[in-house]
Structure 1
């Protein structure tokens, strides 16, 4: 997993495992679709299948960085898969030289084996048929179209539930409002007024907070600070008025 260490820090082991199990189908491997596949292949996607029946033309060399002059006249899908495989040999890449529109009309079951279908530069009629096919099979459809430096991306999916989230601001529960018995006993066993610098330095901060919380509660009928003003007083005179 060290190969994907940086991205593992973003979406974790479960996210990477889901990525490596995914199977992607790209319809039409123009610059938009190729860029999408390049990013997925570098990330370690499980497998990719490219569907495109066109040959590489001179115009492709000016807008697709995965093609070079040696590809002219050859299958665009085959050439793209060859370059994608060089980017990450752990990813399975295959191609199908067939018209996308024909495949949608005559072989809808072809798409059932994929996790995500990325459709690029498709006419609306074909896109609507494909949306029906993917929707009935519960497959994610990503429709993308580019016009020079502008474009659009649309995701079609019945429902997407996020189960594991990573909040940006997570507050630890220190149990100050209801410390367990052992924590109370541990806090009371430490002399927080000890003037020895070494002892003072090694006093766990939770002990100080528990003792201060108890002191506050004793002076306020057993209640911990609840209002903003009380919390400010508990924090001390140097706390921010906006805390």
Structure 2
């Protein structure tokens, strides 16, 4: 029993034994084990996920040796799923690993019930048509789904789940709600037994700082019309009031009270987000309700749009805002200046979707074969302009340089980009499985050209 605690010591300090237990119970399916998928799963295997199933129908080719560190020369010609699975198993023998030598697209089309056995599915390098179908399948079975993709110097990560509840959000800035401005009866009665004006130095020095704040808040309110400090000057005067009660300058409890006075100044009551949860119809619990709704103790509920809805009906004002940058104009205007605009992320997103349409029409990705670059650039531009037109946007907003770059990528998976995208995806997997921390919303786009990333809320 001691060995796993030593092995996972660092991560146990982050998400605790409960989070680790959730990981060890999880069953994960990976679709396509190229560099993006392999890097994603590697991080989860090292973290101690319960079981993995690698699905890939391709064989290892010589080209795979340059971007996938989980195959070697002896793997050429063999099942890629089997080779990657064996390598991952070596990283952590506590993880149950198996492989299925089948093309994911065929499984999605012919055997949708296959996915119901998993806690979470990671779909990598899956094109638009298969994304939509898989999303429907996983939604019906209430399976968590994450899409991850590397395409040249760009990457994409998108979570899709009907509903995700977070019980331990672990915010960066946690504010204790000690009810200092409105103490509960027992606290008030206890505070009434304490005399801050005592001349007993020992008793004065050992008064809890919370009691000091409660009594000082009451004293302040009595002389300020029942109101607590609100302005910057009020807050300074309140701290001075606390300081004036000190007998000696080494009373740590009074210093604590001054440092913690911000807890008293913070707005009290129910936040709008929490009120929304309370008002949600799901809060009407019954015997079948989840622990989340029974306790209503969480800080957030994440819901994600269907991939199909995002593709067919993106939030029009948001898409238009991304396409037109107030500071840098349109993508096309930025192109004339030979600079990369601030809104390159949405251009890459649109062009990736256009590349999938291109592949469906021409049975290859733009720029995939030598000698056809100029023709592919023209075709990709036409496809992208058509896509934007369908979405009600101006196709001329796209940058010529960006179109050329997408063709130059030739649908390649670069290991550096794949490793980064895999890291982001595996981080989100851990959030979703442990139900700790708040997972990202929207579509994450990584732009390797200038090393920037952005969440598109479409």
TM range (shorter): 0.7 to 0.9
1:75-106 alpha-carbon deviations (Å, 9 max, x no partner): 21111111111111111110011122222222
Deviating more after overlay: 159-168 vs 142-151 = 159-168
Q: Which residue of 1 is the match for residue 228 of structure 2?
A: 225
- Paired residues for 1:100-139 under 5 Å: 100-139=104-143
Aligned-pair CA distance for 1:224: 5.6
Say whether residues 1:33 and 2:45 are aligned partners. Answer: no
CA–CA separation in structure 1 for the residues paired with 2:179 and 2:198: 18
* 1:81 equivalent among 81, 85, 92: 85
Deviations 1:187-227 (A, max 9, x none): 23x76544x5x666544333443443454455456x36343
State the alpha-carbon separation in 2 of the partners of residues 175 and 108 from structure 1.
55
> How far did residue 26 of structure 1 move?
0.8
Alignment equivalent of 2:175, drawn from 170, 173, 185: 170
1:184 aligned partner:
192
Tell me the CA shift for residue 112 of structure 1.
Answer: 0.9
Q: Structure 2: which 5+ residue stretches go unaligned?
A: 244-257, 266-458
Where structure 1 has 5 or more consecutive residues not aligned to the other structure, the ranges are: none
Q: TM-score, normalised by structure 1?
A: 0.83
Do 2:191 and 2:215's aligned partners in 1 also have CA atoms closer than 8 Å?
Answer: no
In the alignment, the residues of structure 2 paired with residue 212 and residue 161 of structure 1 have an alpha-carbon distance, to the nearest angstrom, of 39
SS at match of 1:236: helix
Indicate yes or no: 2:72 matched with 1:68: yes
Question: What do you get for the CA RMSD once the two structures are aligned?
Answer: 2.9
Cα–Cα, structure 1 residues 166 and 123, in superposed 2: closer, same or farther, change >3 Å?
closer
Higher relative contact order (Cα pairs below 8 Å, separated by 6+ residues):
2
Return closer, same or farther for 1:118/1:215 CA change in 2, 3 Å cut-off: closer
* Structure possessing the higher radius of gyration over alpha carbons: 1
SS at match of 1:166: coil
CA distance in 2, matches of 1:153, 1:217: 52
* Larger fraction in helix: 2
- Do the aligned partners of 1:192 and 1:208 also contact (CA within 8 Å) in 2? no
Alignment partners' CA distance in 2, 1:80 and 1:98: 14
Shift of 1:10: 2.6
**Aligned residues of 1:141 and 1:157 also touching (Cα < 8 A):** yes
Judge conservation of contact 1:143–1:153 (CA < 8 Å) in 2.
yes
Q: 1:215 to 1:156 in 2, by over 3 A?
A: closer
Corresponding residue number in structure 1 for 2:384: none
Q: Does 1:209 align with 2:213?
A: yes
Which secondary structure does the structure 2 equivalent of 1:153 belong to? strand
Q: Determine the structure 1 residue equivalent to 2:98.
A: 94
Q: Which residue of 1 aligns with 2:294?
A: none
TM-score (norm 2): 0.47
